[in-house]
Amino acid sequence: MNRYLFNTPARLILFLALALTQVITSCNSSTSEENSLQTGTWRVGLQRTDGVEIPFIMEAEAKNGTTVLYLVNGEERILVDDIKQEGDSLKIRLHIFDADLIAKVNGDKMAGRFVRNDLDDRYSLPFTAELGNNTRFKANPAPATFKFDGKWEVVFTDQDGKSYDAIGVFEEEGNDVTGTFLTETGDYRYLEGQIEGNELKLSTFDGNHAYLFTAKPANDSTLKGDFYSGMNGYESWTAKRNPDAQLASADTLTYLKPGFETLNFTFPNLEGKPVSLSDDKYKNKVVIVQLLGSWCPNCMDETKFLAPYFAENKDRGLEIIGLGFERAQGYENAVPRLKKMQERFDIQYDLLYAGSADKEAAAKALPALNHVLSFPTTIFIGRDGKVRKIHTGFSGPGTGKYYEEWVADFNKTMEQLLAEKN
């Protein structure tokens, strides 16, 4: 090094600046390497406030020059492609939901918190993750000694003693098991897990909801189980084997009050323009009114069906109006959530902001209905403007044949309505 370099203050300042730049660059490089998300399978464990772990699997893949994640639940793979470096952590925006995984990555390990922004600041679950582990529960479980596969008549009971009915459907192969629960307001989507001895364990994580179901047999034909959700949610459940188990018809739970044949509403679209069902655009058209929320996984499943259906059939005299009832308070906060949903699913039909994600508030917004029991709720309107059918809840693709039955019934209803002349 030239010993005359420091003869002037300017040169000294230049040397220090260059040295500082090298240090910063070195630090940033180290941070980047430590937080780089390696491709492969990650096993993630969310830690509840009671110490119960809710496990799930996510896969990291290289795609178009970047790394993306997939949340894996049985046959489902939910794309997560909004991953950014913020300070010394990765911020992973979870699909369409207002939720994040905020993590520090250290090689094949990851640790951080699952945060739901659509609730309050206290909703934060710590998690750890390990690369190369694709075992949701135990790697070498004891051989299964009880058959859980088949159809079960289920009753869930919350901590206040309130109960609701469900149907459990499970398929097993060795120690591996998949399935779901159907309720009158929707299903618990894709569940995946294992049987260890005589214990059933199923879990799922969709980016907004984390669920763990466990159960053991009380006798040859009945089960007693536990249902853990999110930070501290808990319900017990019992089940008895019943291949003929049924729920109330989803087409009878929500209906028009006496004296009503039509719906009337006016809500702003995502550009702030008021839209009414009575607008000329909808006259002499078959109209589907979809009550939804960007926070609602069952709504996500229904939208994944309705969006392409509308694109293929819009020239037949069909319109769909999505009424968004959002957890984000107020129009300005809610619209970005709905726009993200619109972009992700290529929704070409009208989306309106209808109010807060509250069933009582939704019922007040649509006073012709006896109540709003579930998101989604789907209302079918004929070319004459009269409500023909109201379907409560949604049985998504995770329910297998129940989803197929819904699709067949939907197509039959729509063909009948679209064929009518006004």
Averaged pLDDT, groups of 10, the chain, 422 residues long: 37 39 38 69 97 98 94 96 93 96 96 90 91 95 97 97 98 97 97 98 97 97 97 97 97 97 97 97 98 97 98 98 95 96 97 95 95 97 98 97 98 98 82
pLDDT recorded at residue 36: 80
pLDDT recorded at residue 119: 80
53 and 101 housed in the same domain: yes
Contact 81, 62 (CB under 8 A): no
pLDDT recorded at residue 16: 37
Give, to the nearest 10 degrees, the angle between helix 401-419 and helix 297-313.
Answer: 40
156 and 270 housed in the same domain: no
pLDDT recorded at residue 33: 45
Beta partners for 378?
A: 290, 391
The total number of structural domains that make up the chain? 3
Residue 308: which H helix or E strand, with range? helix 297-313
Half-sphere exposure of 369 (CA within 13 A, CB side): 28
Rg of the chain on CA atoms, in Å: 26
CATH number of the domain residue 406 falls in: 3.40.30.10
CATH number of the domain residue 222 falls in: 2.40.128.120
Question: Token match 């959700």: residue?
Answer: 229
**Token output for 325:** 């009832």
278 and 401 housed in the same domain: yes
pLDDT recorded at residue 35: 57
What is this structure's pTM?
0.90
Neighbours of 213 (CB within 10 A): 23
E-state strands within 87-149: 89-93, 99-106, 109-116, 124-131
Going from the C-alpha of 364 to that of each of 265, 282, 370, the distances in angstroms are 11, 23, 10
367 and 227 housed in the same domain: no
Instruction: Note down the domain range covering 127.
Output: 40-131
